[in-house]
Amino acid sequence: TPMNGIIGMTELALDSELTREQREHLEAVRSSADVLLTIINDLLDFSKIDAGKLELQPVPFDLQALMSDVARSLALRAHEKHLELVFSIAVDLPAGLRGDALRLRQVLVNLVSNAIKFTEVGEVVVSVTRRRDKIRFTVSDTGIGIPEERQRDIFEAFTQVDGSTTRRFAGTGLGLTITSRLVEAMGGTINLSSQVGHGTTFVVELPLEAAEDVERVSADPRPSLFATKVMVVDDSEVSRKVLARYLEEWGIASTLMESGIDALAALRGIEQDGRELPVILCDARMPGMDGFSLLERMRAELSSDARVVMMLTTDEQTTGSARARQLGVVDYVIKPVRPGALLRALGAAASGIHDEEAPTSGGRVSRPMRSALKLLVAEDNAINATLLRRLLERQGHDVTVVTDGKAALDIIGQQSFDLALIDMQMPELGGLEVAWLVREEERKRGGYLPMIAVTAHVMKGTRESCLQAGFDAYMSKPVRPEELAEAIDGLVPATYMATPATSGKRSRRRSYVTSDIAAQDSFDRQKLLTYTGHDLDLAREIVGMFLDEYPGWVEKMKQAIEAGQPAELQRVAHMLKGAVSNYGTETTSDLALILERMGRDADMVNAPVALRELEESLSRIQPALNAFQQER
């Protein structure tokens, strides 16, 4: 709780108007607090492992999604040091694996964080390959290296390379100890090779089985880009090779250039020969002639307009994307480049559709504006309550705060809320008791309030206890603004709005679509074309199939609601949601999601209302779908 207050309030202060000196002081506070939090977490993990109380929780997980998550969480740290961070996943690996995804992520974050910390110049490369019956994770850097005489005991507790390392880089010396113990607990091995002044490579091998029942969160469509040629311009040899492998896998011909000067010379030659210019996949940050300078020279010296996809680093996304747009870049992706984002950007470039028309495919997606929600925060610690209230108000929400569990239960019975964030440990009634009592009341009277547990105790069984009590999700302290927004978006779709409570009672009927949102219903032609790789025939075929199928899905949902079959409602709503997501109709997709969750939670009191509004939403987009399907 103290760390939650320190980090959260510091982030709030940094988001306000400050003098340069004040900002520097607060950034130093935040940096020190992050280090202290890491030390605390390391000590907690070490004590748990040392006591033999670490228990693994194997689950099916999406490998690509996990690696993308690790990349996103560490990219800014690497890019601030001007390091190249490259992630590469072998094409022969299964999409889904079974294992403790949380602990695997912890291992990878520890290793990659260390690599970034001890590398001042060059690159950090993370690769995943298959080695017989095991999955191999390799983390290589071009950092300071580890002397041979220290390599044998580097995994021992409280060990650093030397005293100067502790003073210079901070830390407990527990990170690698915890990493090695976690790998051992998962039945794997960890080894290292290192040379002082040249870098270090850690190799982790784990017996992870393929999981067929993984729904690929990260799966992206593969556009039909076989006729497209791509020129990759990047000064990092490793990055060029990884990008070339992706392109080869997708059947796209590529040429590789290590500098802007070489690329410009090659493009001049292509134009002089009368050949079509390739799509340019260009790194923005290169020595000599950077990506923006290359683009300016191309515009000045070439008679044809080249189609350019720019690769930006996380720290230059805001200014870099604006400059790229001014120079006519078709799209941009954020390093480390994710395959799905690259595919979408190349699809836009191949069609010549510019950024204003094409969906952005950067690694960090801007959060769309959504309607304000009415939220309840139940938190007995004044600092934490203030922090949550300020964070939520800055996201545009109307927030009510209570300081104990009994007050939370009382106000939930009196007013209507879209979502509640409830601390696990409060006087009068704890969070688990509040959640259980709320769900009991709903079972009697109907309605459903999404609830998020907020806890400082991320121990074994915490998640299960929260879910069993009736929480929809839980968050650990310190609460980060982006994680908070994502958690709310995941539970309350943008179209989900609470109606005002009547007669002091909690409303058990909700209006799912307001008139201004309904007006946004539209068929997103460009999204569909990007999805199909700008193959018009395929796009028309998909639309035709949807028009044939969706009336039957709607009828099946009606029957499921009337017959009281929540599992069937969940199944059919999920199918419809997946289909409409191809067309960019957010209102329709969100309504299908609401129905899917009603089925999942076996709470169908309001399902007829949601289904009626879903039918209305479908009727609004059907004319455009009919017209598109009949185009010739």
How far apart (Å, rounded) are the C-alpha atoms in residues 462 and 155?
29
Confidence of residue 625 (pLDDT cuts 50, 70, 90): confident
What is 229-351's CATH topology? Answer: Rossmann fold (3.40.50)
Residue range 210-226, pLDDT digits in tens: 887 554 443 444 444 55
Q: How many angstroms separate the first and last alpha carbons of the chain?
A: 63
pLDDT, position 338:
82
CATH: 1.20.120.160, 3.30.420.40, 3.40.50.2020, 1.20.140.10. Which one for 515-630?
1.20.120.160
Residue range 513-527, pLDDT digits in tens: 333 334 345 677 766
Average per-residue pLDDT in the chain?
A: 78
How far apart (Å, rounded) are the C-alpha atoms in residues 96 and 439?
34
pLDDT tops 80 at residue 234: yes
Domains 229-351 and 374-491 share a fold: yes
Q: What is the average per-residue pLDDT within 69-90?
A: 85
Neighbours of 174 (CB within 10 A): 22
Of 45 and 290, the one with more pLDDT: 290
- Percent of the chain at pLDDT > 70 equals 76
How far apart (Å, rounded) are the C-alpha atoms in residues 394 and 388?
10
Q: What is the average per-residue pLDDT within 372-401?
A: 85
pLDDT, position 584:
56
Element (H, E) at 192: strand 189-195
DSSP result, 252-318: -EEEEESSHHHHHHHHHHHHHTTPPPPEEEEES--SSS-HHHHHHHHHHH-SSPPPEEEEE-GGGHH
Cis peptide before 481 (omega within 30 of 0): no
Residue range 172-194, pLDDT digits in tens: 456 788 888 889 989 999 999 99
pLDDT tops 50 at residue 398: yes
Of 163 and 409, the one with more pLDDT: 409
Greatest mean pLDDT among 111-125, 319-333, 532-546, 590-604 lies in: 111-125
- State pTM to two decimals: 0.53
Q: What is the average per-residue pLDDT within 76-89?
A: 88
Confidence of residue 371 (pLDDT cuts 50, 70, 90): low
Outline where DSSP puts E strands in 456-552.
473-476
pLDDT tops 90 at residue 255: yes
Domain positions in the chain are 1-54, 56-210, 229-351, 374-491, 515-630
Of 416 and 57, the one with more pLDDT: 416
Q: What is the 8-class DSSP label of residue 497?
A: B
**Residue showing tokens 């407990």:** 172
pLDDT, position 465:
76
**Residue showing tokens 């790229």:** 324
pLDDT, position 343:
82
| Residues sharing a CB contact under 8 Å with residue 604, sequence separation 6 or more, in sequence order | 561, 564, 566, 569, 598
Q: What is the average per-residue pLDDT within 8-31?
A: 73
Residue range 568-582, pLDDT digits in tens: 898 888 878 777 766
Q: Which of 20-29, 122-131, 205-214, 499-508 has the lowest mean pLDDT?
A: 499-508
Q: Letter for the amino acid at 581?
A: S
Are 143 and 200 in contact, with CB atoms under 8 Å apart?
Answer: yes
Pairing of strands 279-283, 308-312: parallel
Q: Which of 388-402, 456-470, 544-558, 570-584 has the lowest mean pLDDT?
A: 456-470
CATH: 3.30.300.160, 3.30.565.10, 3.30.70.360, 3.40.50.300. Which one for 56-210?
3.30.565.10
pLDDT, position 502:
30
For 374-491, CATH gives 3.40.50.2300
pLDDT, position 244:
92
Confidence of residue 331 (pLDDT cuts 50, 70, 90): confident
For residue 64, give Cα distances in angstroms to 71, 105, 128, 332, 578: 10, 12, 10, 20, 20
pLDDT tops 80 at residue 384: no
pLDDT, position 354:
42
pLDDT tops 80 at residue 458: no
Of 530 and 288, the one with more pLDDT: 288
Q: Which of 94-103, 260-269, 351-360, 510-519 has the lowest mean pLDDT?
A: 510-519
pLDDT tops 50 at residue 276: yes
Residue 81 φ then ψ, to 5°: -95, 10
pLDDT, position 59:
83
Q: Letter for the amino acid at 9?
A: M
pLDDT, position 474:
82
How far apart (Å, rounded) are the C-alpha atoms in residues 595 and 448?
13
pLDDT tops 70 at residue 365: no
Of 360 and 143, the one with more pLDDT: 143
Q: What is the average per-residue pLDDT within 30-40?
A: 68
Confidence of residue 1 (pLDDT cuts 50, 70, 90): low
Q: Which of 178-182, 294-298, 464-468 has the lowest mean pLDDT?
A: 464-468
User: How long is the chain?
Assistant: 632
pLDDT, position 401:
94
Element (H, E) at 544: helix 536-563
Q: What is the 8-class DSSP label of residue 511?
A: B
Q: What is the average per-residue pLDDT within 282-308?
A: 89
